[in-house]
Structure 1
Protein backbone atom coordinates (compact mmCIF):
# COMPACT_ATOMS: atom_id res chain seq x y z
CA UNK A 1 0.00 0.00 0.00
CA UNK A 2 1.06 3.57 -0.62
CA UNK A 3 1.26 6.03 2.28
CA UNK A 4 -2.12 7.55 1.38
CA UNK A 5 -3.65 4.08 1.14
CA UNK A 6 -2.34 3.33 4.62
CA UNK A 7 -3.97 6.50 5.90
CA UNK A 8 -7.23 5.18 4.45
CA UNK A 9 -6.53 1.82 6.11
CA UNK A 10 -6.04 3.30 9.57
CA UNK A 11 -8.95 4.17 11.83
CA UNK A 12 -9.47 5.15 15.44
CA UNK A 13 -9.21 1.70 17.02
CA UNK A 14 -11.58 1.31 19.96
CA UNK A 15 -10.33 -2.04 21.22
CA UNK A 16 -6.96 -3.67 20.69
CA UNK A 17 -5.90 -7.32 20.80
CA UNK A 18 -4.04 -7.28 24.12
CA UNK A 19 -2.23 -10.52 23.25
CA UNK A 20 -0.39 -8.90 20.34
CA UNK A 21 2.59 -6.70 21.14
CA UNK A 22 4.49 -4.26 18.97
CA UNK A 23 8.04 -5.39 18.30
CA UNK A 24 10.82 -3.31 19.89
CA UNK A 25 12.03 -2.43 16.38
CA UNK A 26 8.67 -1.05 15.27
CA UNK A 27 8.12 0.78 18.54
CA UNK A 28 11.53 2.41 18.08
CA UNK A 29 10.51 3.54 14.57
CA UNK A 30 7.34 5.19 15.85
CA UNK A 31 9.23 6.95 18.63
CA UNK A 32 11.91 8.07 16.18
CA UNK A 33 9.24 9.60 13.95
CA UNK A 34 7.94 11.52 16.96
CA UNK A 35 11.48 12.63 17.80
CA UNK A 36 11.79 14.06 14.28
CA UNK A 37 8.70 16.23 14.80
CA UNK A 38 9.25 19.82 13.62
CA UNK A 39 8.63 22.28 16.45
CA UNK A 40 9.25 25.97 17.08
CA UNK A 41 13.04 26.50 17.16
CA UNK A 42 13.37 22.72 17.52
CA UNK A 43 12.99 23.01 21.30
CA UNK A 44 10.15 20.45 21.61
CA UNK A 45 8.33 21.71 24.74
CA UNK A 46 6.75 18.34 25.45
CA UNK A 47 7.69 14.85 26.50
CA UNK A 48 6.20 11.46 25.68
CA UNK A 49 5.62 8.81 28.33
CA UNK A 50 5.63 5.27 26.89
CA UNK A 51 3.54 3.17 29.27
CA UNK A 52 3.23 -0.61 29.13
CA UNK A 53 2.82 -1.35 32.86
CA UNK A 54 -0.56 -3.07 33.31
CA UNK A 55 -1.14 -1.92 36.88
CA UNK A 56 -0.46 1.69 35.98
CA UNK A 57 -2.66 1.52 32.90
CA UNK A 58 -5.52 0.11 34.97
CA UNK A 59 -5.35 3.25 37.11
CA UNK A 60 -5.15 5.49 34.06
CA UNK A 61 -8.18 3.76 32.55
CA UNK A 62 -10.32 4.99 35.44
CA UNK A 63 -9.17 8.53 34.59
CA UNK A 64 -10.09 7.94 30.93
CA UNK A 65 -13.77 7.12 31.45
CA UNK A 66 -12.94 3.39 31.27
CA UNK A 67 -12.15 3.44 27.57
CA UNK A 68 -10.78 0.08 26.41
CA UNK A 69 -7.89 1.48 24.39
CA UNK A 70 -5.99 2.39 27.55
CA UNK A 71 -5.36 -1.15 28.78
CA UNK A 72 -5.77 -3.28 25.64
CA UNK A 73 -3.18 -1.49 23.50
CA UNK A 74 0.40 -2.71 23.32
CA UNK A 75 1.71 0.64 24.55
CA UNK A 76 0.08 3.85 25.69
CA UNK A 77 1.84 7.05 24.64
CA UNK A 78 1.04 10.04 26.84
CA UNK A 79 1.98 13.42 25.36
CA UNK A 80 2.87 15.83 28.14
CA UNK A 81 3.11 19.57 27.48
CA UNK A 82 5.70 21.42 29.58
CA UNK A 83 4.61 24.96 30.38
CA UNK A 84 8.01 25.92 31.83
CA UNK A 85 9.44 27.11 28.51
CA UNK A 86 12.57 28.58 30.10
CA UNK A 87 13.43 25.22 31.66
CA UNK A 88 12.73 23.40 28.41
CA UNK A 89 14.97 25.81 26.53
CA UNK A 90 17.77 25.37 29.06
CA UNK A 91 17.51 21.56 28.88
CA UNK A 92 17.49 21.71 25.08
CA UNK A 93 20.69 23.74 24.84
CA UNK A 94 22.38 21.73 27.56
CA UNK A 95 21.74 18.56 25.55
CA UNK A 96 22.59 20.22 22.24
CA UNK A 97 25.97 21.29 23.62
CA UNK A 98 26.57 17.97 25.34
CA UNK A 99 27.10 19.83 28.61
CA UNK A 100 30.20 21.50 27.15
CA UNK A 101 30.41 25.16 28.20
CA UNK A 102 32.48 26.14 25.16
CA UNK A 103 30.03 24.54 22.73
CA UNK A 104 27.12 26.16 24.52
CA UNK A 105 28.79 29.56 24.31
CA UNK A 106 29.03 29.08 20.54
CA UNK A 107 25.25 28.58 20.52
CA UNK A 108 24.59 31.83 22.40
CA UNK A 109 23.02 33.64 19.44
CA UNK A 110 20.63 30.75 18.83
CA UNK A 111 19.82 30.44 22.53
CA UNK A 112 19.24 34.18 22.90
CA UNK A 113 16.80 34.13 19.97
CA UNK A 114 14.85 31.29 21.54
CA UNK A 115 14.75 32.88 24.98
CA UNK A 116 13.75 36.27 23.57
CA UNK A 117 10.90 34.63 21.67
CA UNK A 118 9.69 32.65 24.68
CA UNK A 119 10.20 35.67 26.93
CA UNK A 120 7.73 37.69 24.89
CA UNK A 121 5.00 35.10 25.27
CA UNK A 122 2.67 35.75 28.24
CA UNK A 123 2.68 33.02 30.88
CA UNK A 124 -0.99 32.43 30.14
CA UNK A 125 -0.04 31.35 26.61
CA UNK A 126 2.67 28.84 27.55
CA UNK A 127 0.23 25.95 27.86
CA UNK A 128 -1.32 26.68 24.48
CA UNK A 129 2.06 26.83 22.74
CA UNK A 130 3.37 23.64 24.35
CA UNK A 131 0.11 21.79 23.65
CA UNK A 132 0.14 22.76 19.98
CA UNK A 133 3.67 21.44 19.60
CA UNK A 134 2.73 18.19 21.37
CA UNK A 135 -0.13 17.65 18.93
CA UNK A 136 2.29 17.88 16.00
CA UNK A 137 4.22 15.03 17.65
CA UNK A 138 0.99 13.08 18.03
CA UNK A 139 0.32 13.44 14.31
CA UNK A 140 3.78 12.20 13.41
CA UNK A 141 3.36 9.18 15.70
CA UNK A 142 -0.04 8.36 14.24
CA UNK A 143 1.27 8.57 10.66
CA UNK A 144 4.32 6.46 11.49
CA UNK A 145 2.11 3.79 13.05
CA UNK A 146 -0.08 3.73 9.94
CA UNK A 147 2.98 3.38 7.72
CA UNK A 148 3.92 0.26 9.74
CA UNK A 149 0.29 -0.98 9.67
CA UNK A 150 0.08 -0.61 13.43
CA UNK A 151 -3.25 0.53 14.81
CA UNK A 152 -3.71 3.60 16.94
CA UNK A 153 -6.31 5.93 18.38
CA UNK A 154 -5.60 9.61 19.08
CA UNK A 155 -7.42 10.53 22.28
CA UNK A 156 -8.16 13.62 24.32
CA UNK A 157 -10.96 12.11 26.41
CA UNK A 158 -9.32 11.83 29.81
CA UNK A 159 -8.83 13.77 33.05
CA UNK A 160 -5.46 15.58 32.82
CA UNK A 161 -5.31 16.36 36.54
CA UNK A 162 -5.98 12.75 37.47
CA UNK A 163 -3.26 11.68 35.04
CA UNK A 164 -0.88 14.16 36.67
CA UNK A 165 -1.58 12.66 40.08
CA UNK A 166 -1.33 9.03 38.95
CA UNK A 167 1.90 9.64 37.04
CA UNK A 168 3.40 11.89 39.72
CA UNK A 169 3.90 14.82 37.36
CA UNK A 170 4.66 18.36 38.56
CA UNK A 171 2.22 21.21 37.92
CA UNK A 172 4.07 22.45 34.83
CA UNK A 173 3.87 19.05 33.08
CA UNK A 174 0.34 18.60 31.75
CA UNK A 175 -0.89 15.53 29.82
CA UNK A 176 -2.68 16.83 26.72
CA UNK A 177 -3.16 13.84 24.40
CA UNK A 178 -2.93 10.06 24.28
CA UNK A 179 -1.94 7.68 21.51
CA UNK A 180 -2.62 4.02 22.32
CA UNK A 181 -0.88 1.82 19.73
CA UNK A 182 -1.12 -1.88 18.98
CA UNK A 183 -3.20 -4.23 16.84
CA UNK A 184 -6.97 -4.13 16.44
CA UNK A 185 -9.06 -6.84 18.07
CA UNK A 186 -10.69 -9.32 15.67
CA UNK A 187 -14.07 -8.22 16.97
CA UNK A 188 -13.40 -4.66 15.79
CA UNK A 189 -15.29 -3.49 12.72
CA UNK A 190 -14.00 -0.16 11.40
CA UNK A 191 -16.74 2.38 10.91
CA UNK A 192 -17.12 4.01 7.49
CA UNK A 193 -15.01 7.15 7.30
CA UNK A 194 -16.35 10.57 6.48
CA UNK A 195 -14.06 13.41 5.52
CA UNK A 196 -14.86 16.83 4.09
CA UNK A 197 -14.54 17.14 0.34
CA UNK A 198 -11.52 18.91 -1.13
CA UNK A 199 -13.83 21.72 -2.25
CA UNK A 200 -15.06 22.29 1.30
CA UNK A 201 -11.77 21.82 3.12
CA UNK A 202 -9.37 23.68 0.87
CA UNK A 203 -9.61 27.26 -0.34
CA UNK A 204 -7.12 28.24 -3.02
CA UNK A 205 -6.08 31.87 -2.96
CA UNK A 206 -4.17 32.96 -6.06
Structure 2
Protein backbone atom coordinates (compact mmCIF):
# COMPACT_ATOMS: atom_id res chain seq x y z
CA UNK A 1 0.00 0.00 0.00
CA UNK A 2 1.33 3.42 -0.90
CA UNK A 3 1.97 5.77 1.97
CA UNK A 4 -0.28 8.80 2.13
CA UNK A 5 1.88 11.76 1.22
CA UNK A 6 1.81 15.16 2.86
CA UNK A 7 0.58 16.63 -0.41
CA UNK A 8 -2.38 14.21 -0.45
CA UNK A 9 -3.30 15.23 3.08
CA UNK A 10 -3.03 18.88 2.04
CA UNK A 11 -5.35 18.35 -0.93
CA UNK A 12 -7.89 16.56 1.26
CA UNK A 13 -7.87 19.46 3.68
CA UNK A 14 -8.16 21.99 0.86
CA UNK A 15 -11.20 20.21 -0.56
CA UNK A 16 -13.03 20.09 2.78
CA UNK A 17 -12.05 23.69 3.55
CA UNK A 18 -13.46 24.77 0.18
CA UNK A 19 -16.79 23.08 0.84
CA UNK A 20 -17.00 24.62 4.30
CA UNK A 21 -16.12 28.03 2.81
CA UNK A 22 -18.79 27.82 0.12
CA UNK A 23 -22.27 29.12 0.83
CA UNK A 24 -25.15 30.38 -1.30
CA UNK A 25 -24.11 34.02 -1.51
CA UNK A 26 -27.15 36.28 -1.81
CA UNK A 27 -25.34 39.62 -1.95
CA UNK A 28 -21.86 40.18 -3.35
CA UNK A 29 -19.38 43.02 -2.94
CA UNK A 30 -20.23 44.93 -6.11
CA UNK A 31 -16.84 46.66 -6.09
CA UNK A 32 -14.85 43.41 -6.24
CA UNK A 33 -14.54 41.62 -9.55
CA UNK A 34 -13.24 38.14 -10.26
CA UNK A 35 -10.18 38.54 -12.48
CA UNK A 36 -10.25 37.13 -16.00
CA UNK A 37 -7.76 34.30 -15.41
CA UNK A 38 -9.55 33.08 -12.29
CA UNK A 39 -12.94 33.07 -13.99
CA UNK A 40 -11.47 31.37 -17.05
CA UNK A 41 -10.40 28.55 -14.74
CA UNK A 42 -13.93 28.30 -13.34
CA UNK A 43 -15.34 28.15 -16.87
CA UNK A 44 -12.78 25.51 -17.84
CA UNK A 45 -13.92 23.36 -14.92
CA UNK A 46 -17.42 23.58 -16.39
CA UNK A 47 -16.30 22.84 -19.93
CA UNK A 48 -14.34 19.77 -18.83
CA UNK A 49 -17.19 18.38 -16.73
CA UNK A 50 -18.56 14.90 -17.42
CA UNK A 51 -21.92 14.50 -19.13
CA UNK A 52 -23.98 11.44 -19.94
CA UNK A 53 -22.71 9.75 -23.12
CA UNK A 54 -20.33 12.71 -23.47
CA UNK A 55 -23.07 14.60 -25.29
CA UNK A 56 -22.37 17.97 -23.61
CA UNK A 57 -26.05 19.02 -23.78
CA UNK A 58 -25.44 22.46 -22.31
CA UNK A 59 -24.26 25.97 -23.10
CA UNK A 60 -23.09 28.64 -20.67
CA UNK A 61 -24.54 32.10 -21.23
CA UNK A 62 -22.74 34.93 -19.41
CA UNK A 63 -24.80 38.05 -18.74
CA UNK A 64 -22.39 40.85 -17.88
CA UNK A 65 -24.22 43.84 -19.32
CA UNK A 66 -26.20 45.62 -16.57
CA UNK A 67 -28.90 46.37 -19.14
CA UNK A 68 -29.21 42.70 -20.08
CA UNK A 69 -29.30 41.66 -16.42
CA UNK A 70 -32.18 44.04 -15.82
CA UNK A 71 -34.21 42.23 -18.46
CA UNK A 72 -34.24 39.23 -16.10
CA UNK A 73 -35.02 41.08 -12.88
CA UNK A 74 -38.83 41.13 -12.84
CA UNK A 75 -39.22 37.34 -12.93
CA UNK A 76 -35.97 36.16 -11.31
CA UNK A 77 -37.04 36.31 -7.68
CA UNK A 78 -34.11 34.18 -6.57
CA UNK A 79 -31.64 36.74 -7.93
CA UNK A 80 -33.34 40.13 -7.71
CA UNK A 81 -32.89 40.70 -3.97
CA UNK A 82 -36.58 40.76 -3.10
CA UNK A 83 -35.98 38.58 -0.04
CA UNK A 84 -32.97 40.56 1.21
CA UNK A 85 -34.05 44.10 0.38
CA UNK A 86 -31.05 44.53 -1.94
CA UNK A 87 -30.36 44.51 -5.67
CA UNK A 88 -29.51 40.81 -5.26
CA UNK A 89 -27.07 38.78 -7.27
CA UNK A 90 -28.25 40.45 -10.46
CA UNK A 91 -27.09 43.81 -9.14
CA UNK A 92 -23.95 42.80 -7.25
CA UNK A 93 -22.35 39.67 -8.76
CA UNK A 94 -19.08 39.95 -10.59
CA UNK A 95 -20.28 37.31 -13.05
CA UNK A 96 -23.87 36.24 -13.69
CA UNK A 97 -25.07 33.63 -16.11
CA UNK A 98 -27.49 30.96 -17.20
CA UNK A 99 -26.73 27.38 -18.16
CA UNK A 100 -28.90 26.29 -21.06
CA UNK A 101 -30.07 22.71 -21.57
CA UNK A 102 -30.50 21.00 -24.93
CA UNK A 103 -34.01 20.04 -26.00
CA UNK A 104 -35.31 17.04 -27.93
CA UNK A 105 -34.56 18.92 -31.17
CA UNK A 106 -30.89 18.06 -30.73
CA UNK A 107 -30.73 15.38 -28.03
CA UNK A 108 -33.03 12.79 -29.55
CA UNK A 109 -31.08 9.67 -30.53
CA UNK A 110 -30.00 9.76 -34.16
CA UNK A 111 -30.42 13.53 -34.54
CA UNK A 112 -28.30 15.36 -37.07
CA UNK A 113 -26.82 17.40 -34.22
CA UNK A 114 -25.63 14.31 -32.33
CA UNK A 115 -24.20 12.63 -35.41
CA UNK A 116 -22.23 15.82 -36.10
CA UNK A 117 -21.09 15.82 -32.44
CA UNK A 118 -19.86 12.23 -32.75
CA UNK A 119 -17.97 13.03 -35.95
CA UNK A 120 -16.45 16.41 -35.25
CA UNK A 121 -16.18 16.66 -31.45
CA UNK A 122 -15.68 13.06 -30.36
CA UNK A 123 -14.00 12.09 -33.67
CA UNK A 124 -15.65 8.67 -33.76
CA UNK A 125 -15.50 6.37 -36.80
CA UNK A 126 -18.78 5.67 -38.54
CA UNK A 127 -19.19 2.15 -37.18
CA UNK A 128 -18.78 3.41 -33.61
CA UNK A 129 -21.30 6.17 -34.32
CA UNK A 130 -23.81 3.45 -35.20
CA UNK A 131 -23.05 1.76 -31.87
CA UNK A 132 -23.54 5.06 -29.99
CA UNK A 133 -26.83 5.75 -31.76
CA UNK A 134 -28.11 2.30 -30.86
CA UNK A 135 -26.99 2.43 -27.23
CA UNK A 136 -28.28 5.95 -26.66
CA UNK A 137 -31.56 5.15 -28.41
CA UNK A 138 -32.10 2.18 -26.08
CA UNK A 139 -31.17 4.36 -23.09
CA UNK A 140 -33.78 6.95 -24.09
CA UNK A 141 -36.66 4.73 -25.18
CA UNK A 142 -36.30 1.76 -22.84
CA UNK A 143 -33.86 2.15 -19.95
CA UNK A 144 -34.99 5.59 -18.79
CA UNK A 145 -38.13 6.17 -20.90
CA UNK A 146 -37.29 9.78 -21.77
CA UNK A 147 -38.82 10.57 -25.14
CA UNK A 148 -40.87 13.78 -24.82
CA UNK A 149 -39.32 17.20 -25.22
CA UNK A 150 -39.83 17.96 -21.52
CA UNK A 151 -38.26 14.68 -20.44
CA UNK A 152 -35.22 15.09 -22.70
CA UNK A 153 -34.76 18.73 -21.69
CA UNK A 154 -34.92 17.73 -18.01
CA UNK A 155 -32.29 15.05 -18.68
CA UNK A 156 -30.07 17.70 -20.26
CA UNK A 157 -30.69 19.88 -17.21
CA UNK A 158 -29.26 17.12 -15.00
CA UNK A 159 -26.02 17.38 -16.95
CA UNK A 160 -26.10 21.17 -16.55
CA UNK A 161 -26.15 20.74 -12.78
CA UNK A 162 -23.00 18.61 -12.93
CA UNK A 163 -21.36 21.45 -14.85
CA UNK A 164 -22.45 24.09 -12.35
CA UNK A 165 -21.43 21.96 -9.36
CA UNK A 166 -17.91 21.70 -10.74
CA UNK A 167 -17.78 25.43 -11.45
CA UNK A 168 -18.91 26.19 -7.90
CA UNK A 169 -16.32 23.83 -6.40
CA UNK A 170 -13.56 25.27 -8.57
CA UNK A 171 -14.61 28.73 -7.45
CA UNK A 172 -14.56 27.76 -3.78
CA UNK A 173 -11.07 26.30 -4.14
CA UNK A 174 -10.00 29.64 -5.60
CA UNK A 175 -11.71 31.65 -2.85
CA UNK A 176 -14.53 32.82 -5.11
CA UNK A 177 -18.11 32.87 -3.78
CA UNK A 178 -21.09 31.68 -5.77
CA UNK A 179 -24.79 30.93 -5.79
CA UNK A 180 -26.84 28.52 -7.89
CA UNK A 181 -30.24 30.03 -8.64
CA UNK A 182 -33.47 28.24 -9.53
CA UNK A 183 -35.78 31.06 -8.43
CA UNK A 184 -37.02 32.28 -11.80
CA UNK A 185 -40.09 31.96 -14.01
CA UNK A 186 -39.21 29.40 -16.66
CA UNK A 187 -41.61 30.61 -19.36
CA UNK A 188 -40.70 34.29 -19.04
CA UNK A 189 -36.99 33.52 -18.92
CA UNK A 190 -37.29 31.38 -22.04
CA UNK A 191 -39.20 34.11 -23.88
CA UNK A 192 -36.66 36.75 -22.86
CA UNK A 193 -33.72 34.61 -23.98
CA UNK A 194 -35.36 34.21 -27.36
CA UNK A 195 -36.33 37.86 -27.76
CA UNK A 196 -33.25 39.60 -26.37
CA UNK A 197 -30.34 37.13 -26.26
CA UNK A 198 -30.57 35.44 -29.65
CA UNK A 199 -31.21 32.00 -28.16
CA UNK A 200 -33.02 29.46 -30.33
CA UNK A 201 -35.47 28.31 -27.68
CA UNK A 202 -36.57 25.35 -29.77
CA UNK A 203 -33.08 23.93 -29.14
CA UNK A 204 -32.14 25.46 -25.78
CA UNK A 205 -34.02 26.06 -22.55
CA UNK A 206 -32.77 27.66 -19.30
CA UNK A 207 -31.77 25.05 -16.72
CA UNK A 208 -30.24 27.07 -13.88
CA UNK A 209 -28.87 30.55 -13.22
CA UNK A 210 -25.64 31.25 -11.36
CA UNK A 211 -23.68 34.08 -9.81
CA UNK A 212 -20.00 34.41 -8.88
CA UNK A 213 -18.12 37.09 -7.00
CA UNK A 214 -16.98 37.93 -3.48
CA UNK A 215 -19.32 37.97 -0.50
CA UNK A 216 -20.38 41.33 0.89
CA UNK A 217 -20.49 39.86 4.41
CA UNK A 218 -19.99 36.60 6.22
CA UNK A 219 -22.92 34.13 6.44
CA UNK A 220 -25.32 34.81 9.29
CA UNK A 221 -25.64 31.15 10.24
CA UNK A 222 -23.08 28.33 10.43
CA UNK A 223 -23.22 25.61 7.81
CA UNK A 224 -25.58 22.80 8.78
CA UNK A 225 -25.97 19.39 7.19
CA UNK A 226 -27.38 16.00 8.10
CA UNK A 227 -24.90 13.57 9.64
CA UNK A 228 -22.88 11.19 7.49
CA UNK A 229 -24.87 8.31 8.99
CA UNK A 230 -28.10 9.88 7.76
CA UNK A 231 -26.72 10.51 4.29
CA UNK A 232 -24.69 7.39 3.46
CA UNK A 233 -25.66 3.73 3.59
CA UNK A 234 -23.10 0.96 3.07
CA UNK A 235 -23.95 -2.55 1.89
TM-score w.r.t. the length of structure 1 is 0.87
Give the RMSD, CA atoms, in angstroms.
Answer: 1.9
Given candidates 117, 134, 156, the residue that maps to 1:130 is 156
- Classify the secondary structure of the residue corresponding to 1:123: coil
Residue by residue over 1:139-190, the C-alpha shift from the partner in whole angstroms, topping out at 9 and shown as x without a partner, is: 111101101110001111111222222222313311111110011114x534
Aligned 8 A contact 2:28 2:93 in 1: yes
Structure 1 residues 175 and 11, CA gap change in structure 2 (3 angstroms)? same
Name the count of aligned residue pairs. Answer: 197
Contact 2:119 / 2:125 at 8 angstroms: preserved in 1? no
Report the TM-score, using the length of structure 2 for normalisation.
Answer: 0.77
Identify unmatched segments of 5+ residues in structure 1: 98-103
CA contact (8 A) 1:11 1:190 kept: no
Q: Residues 1-206 of structure 1: matches in 2 within 5 Å?
A: 2-65=14-77, 66-67=80-81, 68-83=88-103, 84-85=106-107, 86-96=111-121, 107-120=125-138, 121=140, 122-124=146-148, 125-168=151-194, 169=199, 170-186=201-217, 188-205=218-235
**Distance in 1 between residues matched to 2:112 and 2:63, nearest whole Å:** 24
TM-fit CA distance, 1:88: 4.4
Q: Which has the higher mean CA deviation after the structures are superposed, 122-131 or 191-200?
A: 122-131
**Corresponding residue for 1:101?**
none
Gaps of 5+ in 2: 1-12, 82-87, 141-145
Larger radius of gyration: 2
CA distance in 1, matches of 2:213, 2:185: 22
Query: Secondary structure at 1:131's aligned position in 2?
Result: helix
Change (3 A) 1:198 1:126: same
